[in-house]
């Protein structure tokens, strides 16, 4: 079973993206080991801090490096990637030559009440992942329009959506297997 560092771009305790990630994690049990890596304690990226790296940064990088793959679960803020997720991505890419992303199989998912969900944020973030050498799963793309009862109970209760998510998990397992 592969370990997956899961980073949620929304820091709210009741984030619908966190709920989606947790529900998918339950669905993936036995196929993937979701390890939630918290990003809210990371200071804003500042290259000067590498002189004496903050403990939260070192812990973050160790947790990500210890996993076989990375899953980014992102909302869309102002048609872009949330600052917290970009900040985590920046910390993980430095210092030059010591990043945790290169060669790591990655995937993106996200949810929003809006009709286009998180499509713009995911497109932007996918480009960043490629630049840093991640092996980004291109298909299936997963833009979930959140609706009451879909996954807000902590589990996926809608059978059609459960089938879609099982397909995503199966494809991600196969994607990871190509690189690990």
The SS3 of residue 46 is coil
Mean pLDDT rounded to a whole number for the chain: 92
Residue 35: exposure state from Cβ atoms within 10 A (0-12, 13-18, ≥19): middle
Range 2-177 classified under CATH 2.40.160.20? no
Residue 75 CB-half CA count within 13 A: 19
Q: What is the pTM of this model?
A: 0.94
The average pLDDT across 17-41 equals 96
Task: Identify the residue with better confidence: 150 or 91.
Answer: 91
The average pLDDT across 2-14 equals 95
Q: Residue 89 above 80 pLDDT? A: yes
Cβ neighbours for 53, distance < 8 A, ≥ 6 positions apart: none
CB 106 within 8 A of CB 71: yes
Domain residues of the chain, as ranges?
Answer: 2-177
């Amino acid at each position: 079973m592969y370990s997956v560092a899961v980073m949620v771009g929304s820091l709210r305790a009741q984030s619908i993206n966190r709920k989606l990630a947790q529900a998918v994690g339950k669905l993936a049990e036995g196929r993937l080991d979701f390890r939630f890596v918290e990003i809210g304690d990371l200071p804003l990226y500042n290259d000067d801090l590498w002189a004496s790296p903050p403990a939260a940064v070192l812990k973050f990088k160790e947790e990500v490096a210890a996993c076989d793959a990375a899953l980014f679960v992102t909302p869309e803020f102002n048609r872009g990637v949330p600052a917290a997720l970009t900040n985590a991505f920046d910390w993980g890419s430095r210092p030059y030559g010591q990043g945790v992303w290169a060669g790591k199989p990655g995937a993106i998912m996200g949810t929003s009440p809006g009709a286009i969900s998180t499509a713009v944020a995911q497109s932007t973030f996918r480009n960043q992942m490629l630049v840093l050498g991640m092996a980004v799963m291109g298909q299936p793309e997963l833009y979930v329009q959140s609706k009451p009862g879909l996954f807000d109970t902590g589990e996926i209760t809608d059978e059609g959506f459960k089938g879609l998510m099982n397909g995503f998990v199966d494809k991600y397992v196969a994607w990871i297997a190509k690189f690990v």
